[in-house]
Amino acid sequence: MESNLSAQEPIQLIDTDFSLRREDKNMAIIVGVPDAAIPDHEKWRIRWEPACAWFKNLQTGLTQLGLEKIVLMQDEEYAVF
């Protein structure tokens, strides 16, 4: 599934819709991702692909958002549908 957002729009959304504070320096995007134990499937793919795109696009906006690091974290509880 392709994201309907441009590369800049996730940065704008975080900047305008979330109340980041000066002391907020890190952000985590938590998503279940496929691995050897749990194979990928379409219902899963439509959730993790946009999260990965947001992660990639937000990397370019770290300075604008006042952040030092954004990480993409796997949550195994969200891996099963």
User: Helix (H) and strand (E) counts for the chain?
Assistant: 3, 2
For residue 33, with 0-12 CB atoms within 10 Å meaning exposed, 13-18 middle and 19 or more buried, which class applies?
buried
User: What pLDDT does 77 receive?
Assistant: 60
Confidence (pLDDT) at 3: 59
Statement: residue 70 has pLDDT above 90: yes
Q: Which of 14, 15, 27, 34 is nearest to 81 (CA)?
A: 34
pLDDT at residue number 81: 42
Token code pair at residue 75: 């949550």
pLDDT digits (tens, 9 = 90+) for 49-68: 888 899 999 999 999 999 99
37-to-30, 33, 44, 50, 79 alpha-carbon distances in Å: 18, 11, 14, 22, 10
What are the pLDDT digits (tens) for 23-52?
Answer: 999 999 988 777 777 777 887 788 788 888
pLDDT digits (tens, 9 = 90+) for 12-22: 999 899 889 99
